[in-house]
Amino acid sequence: MLKSFRSATTLVATSIGAIGVVLVLYAWRLPPFDSSVQSTDNAYVRGQVTLVSPQLAGYVGEVAVQDFQHVKAGQILVKLDDRIFAQKLEQAEATLAGQQAALANSEQKRRSDEARITSSQAQVDSAQAALKAAEASWKRIEPLLERGVTTQSQADQARAALDQSTASLHQAQAALEVSRQDLASTLVSRQSLEAAVQGAQAAVRLAEIDLQNTRIVAPEDGKLGEVGARVGQYVAAGTQLLALVPERIWVIANFKETQLAGMEAGQPVTFTVDALQHAQLNGHIERFSPAAGLEFSVIRTDNATGNFTKVAQRVPVRIAIDPDQALAEHLSPGMSVVVSVDTKARGI
Domain with CATH 1.10.287 in the chain: 83-212
Domain with CATH 2.40.30.170 in the chain: 34-47+246-342
At 347, the pLDDT band (50, 70, 90 cuts) reads low
Residues 54-81+215-239, CATH architecture: Beta Barrel (2.40)
Largest CA distance in the chain: 183
Query: 129-170: per-residue pLDDT in tens?
Result: 776 776 676 666 666 656 555 666 666 666 677 677 777 778
Q: Evaluate whether 41 touches 340 at the Cβ level (below 8 Å).
A: no
CATH 1.10.10, applies to 83-212: no
Determine the CATH number of domain 34-47+246-342.
Answer: 2.40.30.170
Query: 6-62: per-residue pLDDT in tens?
Result: 566 777 777 777 777 666 655 555 565 556 788 899 999 999 889 999 999 999 999
* CA 144 – CA 159 distance, rounded (Å): 13
User: Residue 232: what residue type?
Assistant: G
Q: Evaluate whether 58 touches 214 at the Cβ level (below 8 Å).
A: yes
